[in-house]
Amino acid sequence: MSRPDGARRAGPESTASPVLRLGPRSIPLERVALMGVLNITPDSFSDGGRYVRPAAALAHAAEMVEQGAAIIDVGGESTRPGAQPVSADEEIDRVLPVIEALAKEVDVAISIDTTKPEVMRAAVAAGAVLINDVLALRAPGALEAAAALDVGICLMHMQGEPRTMQANPRYDDVVREVGAFLRGRVEAALAAGIARERLLIDPGFGFGKTLEHNLALLRGLGSFSDLGVPILAGLSRKSMIAKVLGLPVEERLPASLALALVAVQNGARILRVHDVAATRDAVRMWEAVYY
């Protein structure tokens, strides 16, 4: 999109590649890309149980693609605070029918939201082209599996683990500490042979952070641009909205859109969202102003 004379892009400039390589696919990032959330779980905080049947999951994914999602993020294990772990076999049983159907019937990049190398391998074999890992490839064997699979990787920060991460998270300087962690994981991925253009980072809003930590991270998001990889932000319907506004999950859309635009203003190139159409319209208006 051409810019009016004298206009410039708002927010921090990034050294990241304008294209995210996802195996045989690529996602251009000159404009913000949307990742639609598809939870194949009974206990996710926002839509647990709604899409456990493959037919319902496929229909919802197709709807999100029609609304503008460039990526569909399929998850078979909830990572909400207090969530209980599931076995790799159970996770595979949940996600594989959906990934296989999506790969055959919908022209979209498929992401697998998992920490387990067994699930990564099974999902990629079924058609996934992006691994979205809340542990940033720290589980035994995950880094090696991801390097061998030649797909995209999202490295997320989380303090602790899902069952206890919100018990008492502490930081001396959350922006500095999260940035140092992400830098270390990017370096580990590069050392393992994962190309930089396959990587993106996620500061992990709500994962082992208080409201104050989340707000500080959002304000300081631009500082992560110097890591040289695209930034993903997942703020949709998060509990930080309830802490500020006291709203239940089903009433958090306007606040989610506000947070999404702040994230974009501060350098995010991919937004992980539940409400694709509304986020698309909000972002396109932002881009009309600044591009």
Point out the residues that are catalytic. Answer: 238, 272
- What letter would DSSP give residue 161? -
Of 41, 120, 47, 143, nearest to 84 by C-alpha is 41
What phi and psi values does residue 126 have, to the nearest 5 degrees? -85, -10
Dist CA 47 CA 50 (whole Å): 6
What residue type is 74 in one-letter code? V
The upper half-sphere exposure of residue 112, i.e. CA atoms within 13 Å in the direction of its Cβ, equals 31
Helix axes 174-191, 142-149, angle to 10 degrees: 60
What is the amino acid identity at position 4?
A: P
Contact, 135 vs 158, CB < 8 A? yes
- Give dist(CA 23, CA 27) in Å, integer: 11
CA-closest candidate to residue 203, choices 225, 19, 168, 23: 225
Q: Which helix (H) or strand (E) holds 33?
A: strand 33-39
Residue 126 is inside which H or E element, if any?
Answer: helix 117-126
E strand spans, 76-138: 109-113, 130-133
- The answer to whether 88 touches 116, Cβ cutoff 8 Å, is yes
